[in-house]
């Protein structure tokens, strides 16, 4: 077989082989962690540092303002911030801009409290600690001590306890959510009489301490659309609520003016932004390992390297086979 025929066959390779190669390369990082380095950026570090400065007297909102179509990018962002808040005993309100986002918020909470996930948090439902609540035990440190004194031992592999109504409130979706944000600047309970599990907000200790958005320290809106800007318009501009964005990679550049103007404290852009936050969590000893976003970046990086390799081989075949000269001669003819 002549050299020209080899180059010609390479240029005319069945595209199914290329698809198969990308498929195989995409599977490898899930079977064995490659761990390609992910450097962190200022816009992600600023969110991390802000959350890291908060403690048990503080509260944040995490808005799951996206649909399943962008779940792969957005969910790891919400999960990472939720883990960080739980580690610092910061109370977390979970909301959603759309009906489908309601399920995204619930799924993220279930993931963080799933015993099958490394570094999970042991969840205590609202009804389970009613006796302690009735006895006036609501401080987190006192609550954990009383709960364990009652015979509850923290499971092996768990990062700690999270109490529904003390550490988190799963509020979910309410119609016309931009008006809900506006209403919560006066009263959260006025917009949500019950949480998604039909627990009364009036009995939740975290609601007694944080009655409105004016008493909340940060809103992190994780969005697959322009829904995130509602938090700026009705939260940041109205009452000065600090806001951070988590957006898809394709829309990340659209929101840089909000960073430059100081309207938001930072931004996670796409899967890369979520992976950066996971790296920061690991570097600061908050989690032992990175999670799905970091693994996803391994997949992306491996695919990109393979595509670049195909491009290089294609160009070598094109020039070594003399096809560029043949094309030039045909053009003259």
Query: What are the residue ranges spanned by the domains of the chain?
Result: 1-32+291-333, 38-113+169-290
In degrees and rounded to multiples of 5, residue 123 shows phi and psi of -90, 135
Closest CA to 94 of 81, 80, 84, 105: 105
Higher pLDDT, 307 or 182: 182
Give yes or no for a contact between 26 and 298, defined as CB atoms under 8 angstroms apart: no
Whole-number Å distance between alpha carbons of 173 and 181:
11
3-state secondary structure of 162: strand
The answer to whether the predicted template modeling score (pTM) of the entire model surpasses 0.85 is: yes
pLDDT per residue over 240-268, tens digit each?
999 999 999 999 999 999 999 999 999 99
* Per-residue pLDDT tens digits for 200-221: 999 999 999 999 999 999 999 9
- In the prediction, which pLDDT does 198 show? 95
Tokens of 215: 């008493």
DSSP H stretches of helix in 202-269: 205-209, 229-231, 237-239, 256-260
Architecture of the domain spanning 38-113+169-290: 3-Layer(aba) Sandwich (3.40)
What's the 3-state SS for 20-87? HHHHHHHHHHHHCCCCCCCCCCHHHHHHHHHHHCCCCCCEEEEEEECCHHHHHHHHHHHHHHHHHHHH
| pLDDT above 80 for 28 | no
């Amino acid at each position: 077989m002549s050299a020209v025929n080899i180059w010609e066959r390479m240029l005319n390779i069945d595209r199914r082989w290329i698809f198969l190669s990308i498929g195989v390369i995409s599977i490898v990082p899930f079977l064995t962690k490659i761990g390609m380095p992910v450097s962190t950026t200022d816009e992600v570090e600023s969110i991390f540092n802000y959350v890291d400065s908060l403690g048990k007297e503080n509260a944040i909102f995490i808005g799951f303002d996206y649909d399943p179509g962008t779940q792969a990018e957005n969910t790891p962002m919400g999960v990472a911030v939720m883990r960080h808040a739980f580690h610092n005993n910061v109370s977390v309100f979970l909301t959603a801009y759309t009906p489908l986002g309601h399920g995204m918020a619930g799924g993220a909470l279930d993931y963080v409290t799933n015993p099958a996930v490394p570094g999970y948090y042991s969840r205590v439902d609202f009804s389970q600690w009613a006796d302690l609540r009735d006895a006036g035990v609501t401080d987190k440190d006192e609550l954990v001590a009383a709960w364990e004194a009652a015979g509850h031992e923290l499971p092996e592999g768990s990062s700690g306890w999270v109490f529904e109504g003390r550490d988190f409130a799963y509020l979910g979706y309410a119609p016309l959510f931009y008006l809900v944000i506006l209403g919560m600047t006066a009263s959260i309970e006025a917009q949500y009489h019950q949480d998604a599990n039909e627990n009364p907000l009036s009995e939740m200790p975290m609601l007694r301490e944080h009655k409105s958005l004016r008493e909340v320290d940060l809103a992190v809106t994780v969005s697959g659309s322009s829904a995130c800007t509602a938090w700026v318009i009705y939260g940041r501009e109205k009452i000065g609520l600090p806001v951070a964005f988590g957006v898809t990679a394709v829309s990340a550049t659209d929101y840089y003016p909000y960073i430059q103007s100081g309207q938001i404290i930072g931004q996670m852009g796409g899967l890369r932004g979520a992976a950066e936050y996971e790296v920061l969590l690991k570097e600061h000893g908050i989690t032992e390992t990175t999670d799905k976003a970091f693994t996803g970046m391994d997949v992306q990086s491996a695919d990109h390297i393979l595509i670049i390799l195909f491009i290089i081989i294609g160009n070598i075949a094109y020039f070594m086979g003399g096809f560029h000269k043949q094309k030039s001669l045909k053009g003259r003819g």
